[in-house]
Structure 1
Amino acid sequence: MATSTEVSEKAQSGAKRFIGGVVEGFYGRPWTMEQRTELFKREQKWGLNTYLYAPKDDYKHRMYWRDLYSPEEAEQLIALISAAQQHNIDFVYAISPGLDITFSNRKEVAALKRKLDQVRDFGCNSFSLLFDDIETEMCPADKQAFSSFAHAQVAITNEVFQHLGEPSTFLFCPTDYCAAFCTPTVTQSSYLHTVGDELLPGIDVLWTGPKVVSHKISVESIEEVSSILKRAPVIWDNIHANDYDPQRIFMGPYKDRPTELIPKLRGVLTNPNCEFYPNFVAIHTLATWCKASADGATKDVEMGDEEQDPCYSPHKALTLALTDWLEEFLSTDQLTACVKKDSSDEEPMQTDLGEHSYVPGPGENPLYTAEPLTLDDLKLLSDLFYLPYEYGPTAKSMLHELDWLKGHSHAAAVKSDQVTFHFDKLVPFDPPEIEARRPFACCQTAEWCSRARHFDDMCEAVVRMFNRLSNAPNRRILYDLYNYICDIKSGVNLAQAYVKSLGGLGKPSAQLMSDDPEPWGFRGGLSGEFQRMLPGHGNRDLYKHPHKTSVYCIRPYCTEDKMDVQRIFVKMQQERQIEDASMTEPPLISDILSTGEIPPSPQCALVLEDDIGPCGYMLALTDAKAAATSIQDTSGRVLEDFPSLITGQVLPRVTDPSPVKRMIGQLLSTMRSCGSRGVFCMLRHSDRRMLDFYTESSSFQPIKMGGLPPDVIAMGTSL
């Protein structure tokens, strides 16, 4: 069996190729074998090289991971692995035993090896062990055998890796697979440190970035995690994943990942939409990104002349993808061909009219002819279903215009002069028979009517796009998109009718205000009812901030507030189930400041109130040296850089973070005016809420301070 040093030398003997490809790792119906084979062809054509097999709803991948594949299942996997190899795609088989494995049970480890041996016999040479989305509490047997959850995972992973002969591609997905999951931070995560120190060098680590679905992935964040893991990570990118929301689908370009990342990564695998065919853009643009070179050029097109990234332009990559996708939309798919073939032996429903085809007569309606789908239609489709953290330009414009039209309705309506404003021009009142021929007349200002007409034009473009998509020859793509484009068409029609009603038209208004609307006139289902009842949809709304449901008052602390502050402090201790901590551990400075044993500095104490009463506080000491010396051993150097102390708590009913951030900011400003060089705070790791307040409201960063209990973190910020 190879030693760690031998493995390291083996890994360094030659540079591994950059992993670029697709992971089928979503929750929901897995792709079909036919779709996966089509994926391999696309990957080879576009220059990608890897497919990670990890569908969450393949029972024998996750829930029943111990069970071997049946002969029928084995036949399918063998064919799939062979198809990948034929197209030079590295087929990586992943297994997720973390739901119920007992790491210390040798029979469990043997079952895992036996399962992977079976897949190896199918011709698979690359593997992955996934421990994502599982409970972190170990069973009693594992607690006796391993010092931590990370040790248990790493030990099994190393053993399986060596059992399989140390394959050149072997991926490990940690339970803490993004920065948001690391406690308290990436650099201070004991879990990640264990992985970095003990996982064999030949094993690569999967990482999703700052969050599960990361908006942006910076070079600095990758350098940070790489230093802890002692290897460059493979990004498992969820930017196009939609399994968490069945109303969303994403067809925007791969973006917000600078190409400077490429030499600092082992690879990138996109985990895209559950629907197979709409992933054309996600995979195509990732391939363009992967081909970006240091001199700013790609094999396909010049990039980056107008973008921040000199090597890659998301806009140009999107246009390339949509241009290629349009060809697929306009081609007759195999499904239609199969239907025609299957029905060819049956008696035709009607004879071929041929020379006797119907021709409409004078004054009759012309024959219906479907308009062909255009590149502009696909650009609009992408704009409407762009990315999780942003809409495309057209969608942004529609939202902006609708918001403006709502806010300026009747704000400057014409009252005195006999004038009607139309979407197209300004004209005097006409006789009724002429006015009836102008359906877009409105009673608003000229600017309002002009913008309303612009909004109406954008809505009509969506309807035309829907009609052209519905008539596209390739039905397979349409069927994957149909629910989404029906939904957006319905929403656009409602918005269009609403704007017309604001302009003074009776019919749309009556339709919207009907007491007995048709089902398509409103968002249905229980989810729709909940949304109508709640004051706001929460932080998932991208365009508007949720409504504030409470009014808060921030006022100076007075001596009468001492009991309320103590009550809030004790209640939050109980919430974190650490009310007895002071009996076994020395109190922190912040604790005795909250309990009133030492008073805050003058003008350095604030109380937060809502309509019920005091619900939070922030207290500070401008000079904490004396108090620190009397209570605990701290580094003198730390107190020289951060002489002031701040502490606080808020009750769970305070859902709006802004008043807490304002209190922190106000106290920092006060201490700065008093001449303080820096401020520190101390929190227990379980106090995630206050940790978030400090890190998000200002530049507080973890600092080293001696004499702290093991469950306490110190953070500081310079003034």
Structure 2
Amino acid sequence: MSVMATSTNFSEKTEGRDRRFIGGVVEGFYGRPWTMEQRTELFKREQKWDLNTYLYAPKDDYKHRMYWRDLYSPEEAVQLIALISAARQHNIDFIYAISPGLDITFSNPKEVAALKRKLDQVRDFGCCSFSLLFDDIEADMCPADKQAFSSFAHAQVAITNEVYQHLREPETFLFCPTDYCAAFCTPNVSQSSYLRTVGDTLLPGIDVLWTGPKVVSHKISVESIEEVSSILKRAPVIWDNIHANDYDPQRIFMGPYKDRPTELIPKLRGVLTNPNCEFYPNFVAIHTLATWCKASPDAAARDVEMGDEEQDPCYSPHKALMLALTDWLEEFMCTDQPTACLKKESSEEEPMQTDLGEHSYVPGPGENPLYTAEPLTLDDLKLLSDLFYLPYEYGSTAKTMLHELNWLKSHSQAAAVDTDQTAEWRSRARQFDDMCEAVVRMFNRLSNAPNRRILYDLYNYICDIKSGVHLAQAYVKSLGGLGKPSAQLMGADPEPWGFRGGLSGEFQRMLPGHGNRDLFKHPPKTAVYCIRPYCPEDKMDIQRIFTNMQQERRIKVGSMTDAPLISDLLSTGEIPPSPQCALVLEDDMGPCGYMLALMDAKAAAASVQKDTRDRVFEDFPSLITGQVLPRVTDPSPAKRMIAQLLSTIRSCGSKGVFCELRHSDRRMLDFYTKSSSFQPLKMDGLPPDVIAMGTGL
């Protein structure tokens, strides 16, 4: 097969006639089919980018698959005729595909006649190219077919050959086997009796669709194509699912066409991309495929010139992506309202709203300025592509964010106890925060882009990633003590939008294979905490935890002079806790928190010049205090320590407990505030920056 670049793509010399390289799009996904308007727009794009084929195979068009026997109604016929005509006007080969495999009886002549009648109707619409698809069906034959055919492959090939000849052997006729990828072949491609039957008995003018090693192939090698070609006795047409997203409603793919070397081009009959269900975000998938198709080693001209650093000397996925994003940015900035284009062309007309200048709002001094939408940038689209890249690969920014989040999480404990690592941790936390803010800015600019059709296809995805990034951002801030722990992440009763996945996610997390495609193959396990009674040897550890948390507060609020509190003396060891009223929290790195209590706080109040006549000491005679290091992100250990201490204090006869909290200690203040039992108390003589909270027993 000789391949060369021309204005109509690539030519193949087969059986004395020129056959051009099939390059284009298959609408073959499960989900809502594209509209007639979108398909017509697709034809314009394909023509502009030198692609030449459209395969009509939407799985949920019920007359394509489920009710394949039914003829099209007059109204449907009008639409299909218009669509086939539009494709012809843009030099696009319209291939009509039908999928009868769900329930056809191959040996029944009436079934074969129904199939021919349906395709004859479409041929009368002006269609000249056809495809029979037997993908995603059960491989068992009914008893009648088992008597008539020696194998499932023989049944499929027999009816395909008969239909092909009935249609007078059209130039383009595609067959999709049931074993359409290497993973489905038993025991393998070279020993597959199914594929060998197809290769031996399928008429030579019929081309075979193939997805590669898998349904969604990560890479397609030259060797794998040579292997399947030798069995099929023809070069396959790749049905490429690299950008398909119908199998996961939370994913969309806007990375470049990649991991298919251009050496494949001379060894293939063609490539058709089966992209995202959403039409408008497929700009990158189709644009970069077009660039790849023109990157044959024999091509005279290419859209993208490669550098020495590229593995493929003829095609650079990165450069192809930037070329696509540059063109896509122009579409984002064009309004999708037809009337707007008319207004631009007829500038002599008076604007409809003539009083805008007279009555427009102007903010006064000290008021909020008017909101001004920032324009979308190429960097925003590059970030968008990085966040929604490809099934087996994240973009560079996404990978960096995941690596940084993993590092910040795994090193937060060490940074909390080692001041030498604190500076690095905080520096990387700030960089992570900047990356999160860039995602938010990208979201805002996308939301204000003039072309609303693209936005609406993207909106659910960018809202979801913005929310996920926001949660990660809040989590990192809480690890560093720069923000209160997020209730969405750590609350006992989180909002439904604070977690992902629904029932499907719950099932996946319970299965043994979950996470085997994650970037981090061994994600950190949930920390295991130990709560044990305090012993004298813990005094220095408690002092260290207390001192570290004091330093954290000073970093956040600047220099300050703290008025002494009873709880401070309890934490530093100047006042010992009451017997059986002290607990220590440990993780795998050692002590990471504590809870201490005094049964009679009134006796200790004199040491800090507190008025012991305060009535609070009568209703709440006992004091509780504690701290938990930021590396403890789970609130349940602290809750368990408090519950255990309150039970002990109650059993000793106390009728109430209070705690002293500084406003700058946002973490513990937030913890007690969210507790349903502790309520603010009015206590005489408290410093301005201190609040007391108590609970009855």
TM-score by length of 2: 0.70
Quote the residue 1:219 is aligned against: 222
Aligned in 2, Cα 1:511/1:504: closer, same or farther, shift over 3 Å? farther
Distance 1:297 1:337, change over 3 A: same
Contact 2:415–2:425 (Cα < 8 Å) also in 1: no
1:95 aligned to 2:124? no
1:58 aligns with 2:35: no
Over the residues paired in the alignment, what is the CA RMSD in angstroms? 2.5
Could you tell me how far 1:298 is from its partner in structure 2?
4.1
Q: Distance in 2 between matches of 1:181 and 1:546?
A: 31
Q: Distance in 1 between matches of 2:146 and 2:79?
A: 39
The structure 2 residue matched to 1:112, chosen from 88, 112, 115, is 115
Structure 1 residue 109 displacement after superposition: 0.3
1:464 and 2:441 correspond: yes
* Structure 2 residue 17 is matched with structure 1 residue 14: yes
1:47-196 to 2 correspondences below 5 Å: 47-196=50-199
Superposed displacement of residue 541, structure 1: 2.8
Relative distance call for 1:453 and 1:32 in structure 2 (3 A) is same
When residues 548 and 116 of structure 1 are mapped into structure 2, their CA distance, relative to the original with a 3 A threshold, is farther
Unaligned runs of 5+ in 1: 1-8, 342-347, 422-443, 550-719
Q: Is 1:485 aligned with 2:457?
A: no
Residue matched to 1:26: 29
For 1:492 and 1:507, locate their aligned partners in 2 and report how far apart those are by CA, in whole Å.
17
**Which position in structure 1 is the counterpart of 2:282?**
279
The residue aligned with 2:325 is 322
Q: How does 1:268-347 map to 2 (within 5 A)?
A: 268-294=271-297, 298-334=301-337, 337=340
> Are 1:513 and 2:490 counterparts?
yes
User: Which residue identity lines up with residue 471 of structure 2 in the other structure?
Assistant: L
Tell me which of 203, 206, 231 is aligned to 1:203: 206
**Structure 1 residue 234 and structure 2 residue 237: aligned?**
yes
Match of 1:250 in 2: 253
Shift of the 10–257 alpha-carbon distance from structure 1 to 2, 3 Å rule, reads closer
8 Å CA contact 1:251–1:282 kept in 2: the answer is: yes
Distance 2:134 2:233 in 1: 19
Q: Does 1:407 align with 2:384?
A: no
Change in 2 beyond 3 A, CA 1:336/1:315: farther
1:609-631 per-position Cα deviation (integer Å, ceiling 9, x unaligned): xxxxxxxxxxxxxxxxxxxxxxx
Helix, strand or coil: the match of 2:405?
helix
Match of 1:452 in 2: 429
Asked whether the equivalents of residues 257 and 285 of structure 2 are also in contact (C-alpha less than 8 Å), the reply is yes
8 Å CA contact 1:26, 1:241 repeated in 2: yes
Deviation at 1:12, TM superposition (A): 1.0
Aligned residues: 509
Amino acid at match of 1:457: D
2:343 equivalent to 1:366: no
Provide closer, same or farther for how the CA distance between residues 340 and 97 of structure 1 changes in structure 2, counting only shifts above 3 A: farther
CA distance in 1, matches of 2:388, 2:294: 25
SS at match of 2:454: helix
Matched residue SS, 2:282: helix
Q: Which moved more, 1:203-212 or 1:516-525?
A: 516-525
| Aligned partners of 1:233 and 1:266 also within 8 Å | yes
Change (3 A) 1:295 1:85: closer
Q: What SS is found at the alignment partner of 1:117?
A: helix
SS of the counterpart of 1:197? Answer: helix
Q: Does 1:537 align with 2:511?
A: no
1:220 counterpart letter in structure 2: E
Aligned mates of 1:179, 1:532 — CA distance in 2? 28
TM-aligned CA distance change 1:224 to 1:524, over 3 Å: closer
Moved more, 304-313 or 72-81: 304-313
Q: CA deviation at 1:548?
A: 10
Q: Residue 416 of structure 2: SS of its match in structure 1?
A: coil
* TM-score of the aligned structures, taking structure 1 as reference length: 0.68
Q: CA deviation at 1:161?
A: 0.4
Amino acid paired to 1:399: L
Structure 1 pair 510–238 and aligned structure 2 pair: CA distance change class (3 A): closer
Aligned equivalents of 1:511, 1:82: Cα separation in 2: 54
Q: Check whether the contact 2:129–2:171 (CA below 8 A) recurs between aligned residues.
A: yes
Partners of 1:506 and 1:35 in 2: CA distance? 47
> Where does the alignment leave 5 or more consecutive residues of structure 2 unmatched?
1-11, 345-350, 527-697
What aligned pairs does 1:310-709 form with structure 2 within 5 A after superposition? Answer: 310-334=313-337, 337=340, 352-413=355-416, 445-509=422-486, 512-523=489-500, 525-530=502-507, 537-545=514-522
Q: Distance in 1 between matches of 2:244 and 2:111?
A: 32
In the alignment, the residues of structure 2 paired with residue 96 and residue 154 of structure 1 have an alpha-carbon distance, to the nearest angstrom, of 14
Q: Which amino acid aligns with 1:468?
A: R
CA deviation vs aligned residue, 1:91-136 (integer Å, no higher than 9, x gap): 0000000000000000000000000000000000000000000011
Contact 2:24 2:271 in 1 (8 A): yes
The structure-2 alpha-carbon separation of the partners of 1:295 and 1:306, relative to structure 1 and needing over 3 Å to count, comes to farther
The offset of 1:365, in angstroms, is 1.2
> CA–CA distance in 2 between the matches of 1:10 and 1:320?
32
Cross-structure match for 1:692: none
- CA distance in structure 2 between the aligned counterparts of 1:528 and 1:131, rounded to whole angstroms: 31
User: Deviation digits for residues 44-65 of structure 1, max 9, x if unmatched?
Assistant: 0000000000000000000000
Q: Which whole-Å CA distance do the structure 2 matches of 1:336 and 1:395 have between them?
A: 39
Q: Does the C-alpha gap of structure 1 residues 295 and 107 become closer, same or farther in structure 2, counting only changes over 3 Å?
A: closer
* Distance in 2 between residues matched to 1:144 and 1:533, nearest whole Å: 44
SS of the aligned residue for 2:130 comes to strand
* Counterpart-to-counterpart distance in 2, 1:232 and 1:113: 27
Q: Give 3-state SS (helix, strand or coil) of 1:447's partner.
A: helix
CA offset at residue 78 of structure 1? Answer: 0.1
- Cα distance in 2 between the residues matched to 1:529 and 1:336: 47
Change (3 A) 1:68 1:491: same
- Give the Cα–Cα distance (whole angstroms) in 2 for the partners of residues 144 and 547 of structure 1: 57
* Identical-pair percentage: 91
Give the superposition deviation at 1:337.
4.9
Deviations 1:375-413 (A, max 9, x none): 000000000000000000000000000011111112143
> Separation in 2 of the partners of 1:371 and 1:25?
37
Q: Distance in 2 between matches of 1:548 and 1:501?
A: 19
Q: Deviations over 1:639-662 (max 9, x none)?
A: xxxxxxxxxxxxxxxxxxxxxxxx
The one-letter code sitting in structure 2 at the alignment partner of 1:322 is L
Q: Which has the larger radius of gyration?
A: 2
Distance 2:144 2:387 in 1: 52
Task: Give the residue type in structure 1 aligned to 2:372.
Answer: T
Distance 1:449 1:301 in 2: 41
Q: How many Å separate the matches in 2 of 1:11 and 1:161?
A: 18
Q: CA 1:15/1:72 → structure 2, altered by over 3 Å: closer, same or farther? A: same
Give yes or no for contact 1:60–1:66 (8 Å, CA) kept in 2.
yes
Distance 1:167 1:35 in 2: 27
- Taking the aligned partners of 2:405 and 2:435, their CA distance within structure 1 comes to 11
Secondary structure of 1:15's partner?
Answer: strand
Distance 2:304 2:216 in 1: 29
Q: Is the 8 A contact 1:50 1:89 kept in 2?
A: yes
CA apart distance, 1:361: 1.6
